[in-house]
Structure formats: structure tokens, C-alpha cells
Amino acid sequence: MTEYVIRRFLLALVTIWIVLTFVFFVLRVLPGDYAEQQLANQFFAQAARSEEQREEQLADLRAKLGTDKPLYEQYGLFWWDILRGRSQESFQYNRPSYSVAGDALPYTLQLGLMSLIISVLLALPVGVLSAVRPDGFLDAGLRVFAIFFLAAPAFLTAAIASAYAVKYDILTIGVTSQQLIWDDPWASFQLFLVPALAGGLAVGAILMRFLRSGMLEVLRQDYVRTARSKGLAGGVIIARHVLRNALIPVVTIFGFLVAALVAGNVVLESMFAIPGMGNEILQAIRIRDIPVTQTFTLLLVGAVVFVNLVVDLSYFLIDPRVTVSGADA
Amino acid sequence: MSSAAAQTTEDVFEGFAPPADPPPLVRYLRALGRFFRQKTAGGIALLIASIILVLGIIGPWIAPYDKDEVFRVDNPNYDLSSDNPDDWEAYRFLTLENPSWDHLLGTDHLNRDLFTRVLHGARRSMLLGFGAALIATVFGAILGVVSGYFGGGIDLVSQRLVDAFIAFPPLLFLLLLLQTGEASLPRTIIALSFLNIFGVSRVVRSATLAVRNDVFVEAARVMGAQPPRIIFRHVFPNVFAPIIIIFSTTIGGAILAEATLAFLGLAPPGPSWGAMVNNGRQFFGSEPILVAMGGGALTLTVLAFNIFGDALRDVLDPRLRGA
């Protein structure tokens, strides 16, 4: 068991290493760098300079950013910084990228958690209801609902929902500031409600379908028939025997859900101008802010890999039938 | 057996002979008919998806106008000396008009015909969806079969790559790949297919693992067949169902991913359903036509491909339900 945990942990580290190495080299292969973009922005100053002056300035700026060093040296520095728990300075903000991440993280967490809560609140009753009477009227309707929100992209739902919210004065969204839940709970709730609803519907639809098929699977099991023949009430069977066992496979896709939320957040944050991690990394990739892109990738991928690891290890706690040899990948 | 003997056998069983195998076309049509009867929703979805595919192929040719043509109408009351300010303009642009006989789906925010733009968008979505799904399925299937069949070092390395790229947020992956140069259609297709290769290979690998130690593969191995022959003659035909299924489900995902990119303004220029939603967003309260058409076409298409993929999975391989 201990050996299995250690092996899984090492494999998780390898996964993170591959992703970060990939991002490191892609960022340096991309045409155009931060220094060039900065100089290109100073249009009038540039027009007055000669070609040589421009080259010199470019070299100065690159030396300041540290992107003129040979690749292997940059790669070494990159890992040395990660190992000693420090981060390189962001090109655009002139402060460590961990501190940039620290500012953005609460927004992403709030949006992600609100989406997750909405999706669970939606999926749990709906999944149970549609599995209790499969192929009934309610089940058919709810399945259509779930399939529809699997197909309709979150940005479409969000665009329509926000337009109606504004049209009918349902929400009064302050455009000047992005409030977090502990700054001003009500304003923050209103601001995050539409994106969280759109994200929650998209993820909830996945969860709903998964829960339904899990419930149907469990309902066929012998122990459910035993419970029925004992004369247990239907509600008790569903709550005690079926739902609890159907939730086990749901846990397996939890890592996938977190990844889906992270990805969804990129679009929704940029749409609603929420200064979260998705929005920041989008901008960082566009303007080639290498340290921010790398640090945020580390954090996002680290989170997904970590959740997956915890999920895999938690099988042993949730389901005593699972053994190490059976879980061998 | 001599020809004379064959003659006699045929003579003896004349009248009792089993009906000859129908030609392939009839067999395919029968299978299709069975699919429609078993899975009504899947059949309807297949019909819609086929119509959209055909529209995607012929759409730009049957489109009534040019995709960039701008429409305006002359003002019949044009009179600069009039007191009414409305009469001072020589013509009026057709901006975000509702559907009419001239413009079947209305016009967009830049006064262009929406029906034409939706048809052009269909071609792009089909090209991206099928192109990305095809490339991803071919390479993913090869990767999956090889790593599943041989196991060992190849499997270890490829599985780590799969783990890594599945953990990577897909949109960021796309963004990075698209930043390697100007956003063009081939580049977007390659980026989208690269994104899906790993998911495909995981499914195909697990199907291959199930087949690898089956008796018929064992028998082929005992008879001295080499790995390439075993893979092509015995493993591939038996993992073909999951490959077809994953191909059909990847199409919808790729179309959705392109729409998301277009919505963020990162897709190549040209008519795109995702871009329509983005452009129409600000007018949605008063003139919902642009969002309705772009979003409607997008949702209908993805819905059709998803439902068809689900039905296909239920018919071909019930074990994969929920995968």
C-alpha cells in the first residue's frame, strides 16, 4: 500500500515535469517575445530611432528580463526557482508571479466553488429522480435538459443569461469593481452568479448523466433486490443502498470535473472581466509573459494532478472492495 | 474437391440453398434501418448531422450572396431640404434585420446576409470537426494500440504523456499551440487534433488491453504470426467499435472548441458560429438575431453529433456506456 502511494506520487511528479517542460520550450519557440511587443508598442519613440538603436534597446530589455541566456541555463534556473519555492518576476507586473497568482486565486476559487455547488445541487436531485423511474416522462425531460447543456457551450448560456439579467433588471452588476465574497457578499454574489450558473450548468450536465447511469447500474445489483425483498421502503433503499454506491464512480470523474471547471473559468472570467487565474494566464500567453504563464501552469496542472491522485487513493477508503493489485494502471 | 463433386452437391441441395448474401449496399442499408428502429433519437440526430454535413460541403455554393456583401436600402424620401432628419440620409444599412424573404435568417451587425454566413460557418465547423477528429483518431488509435499491445517501455512513456496532456487545461493548450503563428485553418485543425489524440489513445489502449490476451490472439501468436500481422488482422478489427465511437464523439467536442476560440477572437478570420455569438452579445437585449442564429446552429450541430455518438455507442458497444 505504502509502495503504491509512493509510486503514484512519483508518477504525478513526472506528469507535472512533462507539462512544465513542454510549456517551457513552447513559450521560447513561439515567434515574437515580450521585449519585441513592448518596443512595438512605443510606436512614436521607435520611429525616431535607427535600426541599431532599436537592436540595442531590444538586447537591453532581453538582458533585463533574462531571456537572452542560453536555453539550458534558463531551464536550470526555472527548476531551481521552483525547487526553492520562489518564482521569477512577472514581465508585466514587476513582482514575483506567485504574488500575481495569489491575487488572482481567490476569484478563481470563488467562481469554481460556486459553479461546483450549483452543479452538485442540480445534478444530485435530478440524477436521483431520473434514475428512480427510468424512461418515464420526468426522466426523458431531464435527460433532454442534460444533453442540451452538454451541447450548448457555457459562453452561449452566459451571454443569454447576462443579457436577460440586464434587460429585466434582475441583477445590478457593478462594473467598476470586482468584489470578492468577503468584501461585499451581496454584490459579489450578484457579480459571480451568471458565470457560476453557466459553468455550473455545463459541469452539472456531465455529472447528471454520470450519476444517472451509475444509479441504474446499482439498481440492477443483487443487494438492491435483497433490500427490496426485505421490505425496506423505497426511499431508504435509494438513499442508503443505491445513492451511496452510485456516488463511488462519480468520485472518479471529480478530477475531470476540476479540469473542466478550470478550462471553463478561462472563458467565463475573460467574458465577465473577472481578474482570476484563467483571465490572467490568457493575457500572459498573449503578451508572452513567460514567468506568469509558467507559474500559473504549474499551479493549475498541479491542482488537477493532485485532485486526481487524491481521488485514486480515496478509493481505498470509500470502497473496501478495491485493492492495490486491482487498481494497478 | 473436384469440380464434379461441387456440381453434385449443388444439385443435391438445389432448392434448399440458403439465400445468397445480399450485396454490401443492401446490408449497410439494413443495418441503418435497424439503427433507426432501435434508436429513434439517434436516427434523427444522424439525419440532422448528415444534413449539416452536406450543407457544410455545398453551403458556400448554394449561398444566395457573397459572404462579405453589405446590404443597404435606398431611402425613398431622400431630401436634404426636408425638415425631418430621417430624410437626410440617402440610404439605410440593413443592420441586425429580422428574417425576411430576401434575407432568410436576417442580417448581422455589419449588414451582411446571415444565411450566407451561417452556411459558410457550417463549412468551417464541419472541416474543423471532421478534420480534427479524423487526425486525432488515426494517430490516437495507433498510439493506443501500439502501447496497449506491446506494453512495457513504450506503454510507460506514452501513458505518462497521456497523463500529462489530459491534466493540462485544454483551452490553454490550444492557445499555446495557436500562438505559434498566424491563426489559420490548418493550424487550428492540427492544434485541435493534437488536443484529442491523448483522450483517443487512452480509450483505444484499454480496449486493446482487453483483446490482447484473448484466445484468438493467443492462437495467432502460437501459429507464429508476427506482431504487425496480429495487430492489423486480429487486434484492429476488434477495437474498431470503440475507435468509431470515439471518432463520432470527438467531432462535437472539436466543433465546440473551435467555437470557444472564435468566441474569444482567437480563431482564423472568416464566418464562424462562435464569432457570431461574440459579436451579437452586445445587441442581444434588443436584437437577439445574431446570437440566436450562431448559437442555434452551433448547439443544434453539437447536439446532433453528441446524440448520434451516444446512440452509436449503445448499439456498438454497450460496455462503454457512460465513458
Average pLDDT, chain A: 81
**What's residue B141's pLDDT?**
92
Chain A residues with CB inside 8 Å of B288's CB? Answer: 163
Phi-psi region of A111 (alpha: psi -120 to 50; beta: other; left: phi over 0): alpha
Residues forming beta bridges with residue B92, ordered by sequence position: B73
pLDDT band at B169 (very low <50, low <70, confident <90, very high): confident
Higher pLDDT, B103 or B304: B304
Q: Are B246 and B133 within 8 A, CB to CB?
A: no
Neighbours of B281 (CB within 10 A): 22
- CB contact, 8 Å: A282 with chain B? yes
Summarize the confidence of residues B113-117 as an average pLDDT: 85
pLDDT band at B277 (very low <50, low <70, confident <90, very high): confident
**Euclidean distance between CA atoms B32 and B27, whole angstroms:** 9
Per cent of chain B over pLDDT 70 is 92
- pLDDT at residue A98 tops 80: yes
- CB contact, 8 Å: A57 with chain B? no
Indicate the SS3 state at residue A327: coil
Q: Which of B12-16, B46-50, B74-78 has the lowest mean pLDDT?
A: B12-16
Residues forming beta bridges with residue A96, ordered by sequence position: A89
Cβ burial of B79 (10 Å; 0-12, 13-18, 19+) is exposed
Q: Looking at the complex, report in whole angstroms how far the Cα of residue A172 sits from the nearest Cα belonging to chain B.
A: 15
Return the C-alpha torsion angle A49, A54, A60, A66, nearest 10: 140
C-alpha A307: how far from chain center: 11
- CB contact, 8 Å: B302 with chain A? yes
Q: Are B126 and B52 within 8 A, CB to CB?
A: yes
Non-local (6+) Cβ contacts of B66 within 8 A are B116
Cell 480563431 locates to: B267
Cβ burial of A321 (10 Å; 0-12, 13-18, 19+) is exposed
Are A148 and B172 within 8 A, CB to CB? no
Size of interface A-B (CB pairs under 8 A): 121
Winning range, highest mean pLDDT, from A16-20, A228-232, A256-260, B208-212: A16-20
**Euclidean distance between CA atoms B203 and B250, whole angstroms:** 12
What are the distances in angstroms from CA B184 to CA A142, B25, B177, B264? Answer: 39, 39, 12, 15
Higher pLDDT, A131 or A223: A223
Summarize the confidence of residues A72-95 as an average pLDDT: 85
Summarize the confidence of residues B201-207 as an average pLDDT: 88
Non-local (6+) Cβ contacts of A188 within 8 A are A110, A179, A180, A181
Are A153 and B160 within 8 A, CB to CB? no
**Euclidean distance between CA atoms A126 and B127, whole angstroms:** 36
**What's residue B301's pLDDT?**
92
Higher pLDDT, B75 or A148: A148
Establish how many alpha carbons lie within 13 A of residue B184's alpha carbon, considering only the half-sphere containing its beta carbon.
5
- pLDDT at residue B95 tops 60: yes
Are B176 and A23 within 8 A, CB to CB? yes
Sign of dihedral through CA atoms B162, B164, B166, B170?
negative
**Euclidean distance between CA atoms B144 and B235, whole angstroms:** 11
What are the distances in angstroms from CA A23 to CA A19, A74, A290, B172? Answer: 6, 13, 9, 10
- pLDDT at residue A132 tops 90: no
Cβ burial of B77 (10 Å; 0-12, 13-18, 19+) is exposed
Backbone angles phi, psi at B70, to 5 degrees: -100, 135
Q: Are B48 and B300 within 8 A, CB to CB?
A: yes
Out of A150, A156, A281, closest to residue B295 by CB:
A156
**What's residue B151's pLDDT?**
82
Task: Retrieve residue B191's grid coordinates.
Answer: 492544434
Q: Looking at the complex, report in whole angstroms how far the Cα of residue B284 sits from the nearest Cα belonging to chain A.
A: 6
- pLDDT at residue B140 tops 90: yes
Q: Are A270 and A281 within 8 A, CB to CB?
A: no
Summarize the confidence of residues B251-277 as an average pLDDT: 87
Chain A residues with CB inside 8 Å of B166's CB? Answer: 259
**What's residue B1's pLDDT?**
44
Out of A11, A26, A151, closest to residue B302 by CB:
A151
- Find residues 113-172 of chain A whose CB sits inside 8 Å of chain B: 147-148, 150-153, 155-156, 159-160, 163, 166-167
Q: Which of A115-129, A152-166, A226-240, B260-274 has the lowest mean pLDDT?
A: A226-240
What are the distances in angstroms from CA B98 to CA B103, B106, B287? Answer: 8, 5, 8
**What's residue B270's pLDDT?**
82
- pLDDT at residue B90 tops 90: no
- CB contact, 8 Å: A266 with chain B? yes
Residue of A nearest to B282 (CA): A163
**What's residue B68's pLDDT?**
79
Q: Looking at the complex, report in whole angstroms how far the Cα of residue B167 sits from the nearest Cα belonging to chain A.
A: 6
Indicate the SS3 state at residue B151: coil
Average pLDDT, chain B: 82
- CB contact, 8 Å: B159 with chain A? yes
Best CA proximity match to B112, nearest among B259, B261, B271, B267: B271
Winning range, highest mean pLDDT, from A97-101, A319-323, B176-180: A97-101
| Enclosing H/E stretch for A78 | helix A71-83
Best CA proximity match to B263, nearest among B146, B171, B191: B171
**Euclidean distance between CA atoms B115 and B102, whole angstroms:** 10
Q: Which of A21-30, A32-41, A116-125, B271-280 has the lowest mean pLDDT?
A: A32-41
- CB contact, 8 Å: A186 with chain B? no
**Euclidean distance between CA atoms A28 and A30, whole angstroms:** 6
Neighbours of A224 (CB within 10 A): 17
Residue of B nearest to A20 (CA): B164
Backbone angles phi, psi at B214, to 5 degrees: -65, 160
- pLDDT at residue A196 tops 80: yes
**Euclidean distance between CA atoms B227 and A140, whole angstroms:** 47
Q: Looking at the complex, report in whole angstroms how far the Cα of residue B321 sits from the nearest Cα belonging to chain A.
A: 8
ipTM score assigned to the predicted complex: 0.81
Q: Are A311 and A252 within 8 A, CB to CB?
A: yes
pLDDT band at A328 (very low <50, low <70, confident <90, very high): very low
**What's residue B318's pLDDT?**
57
Summarize the confidence of residues A64-87 as an average pLDDT: 84
Best CA proximity match to A192, nearest among A264, A108, A124: A108
Backbone angles phi, psi at A165, to 5 degrees: -60, -40
Pinpoint the alpha helices (H) of chain B.
3-12, 24-38, 40-62, 114-150, 152-167, 170-178, 185-212, 215-222, 227-229, 236-238, 240-263, 273-280, 289-316
| Enclosing H/E stretch for B93 | strand B91-93
Instruction: Give per-residue pLDDT as tens, B4-32.
Output: 445 566 666 666 666 677 777 888 888 88
Cβ burial of A235 (10 Å; 0-12, 13-18, 19+) is exposed
- pLDDT at residue A270 tops 60: yes
Chain A residues with CB inside 8 Å of B302's CB? Answer: 151-153
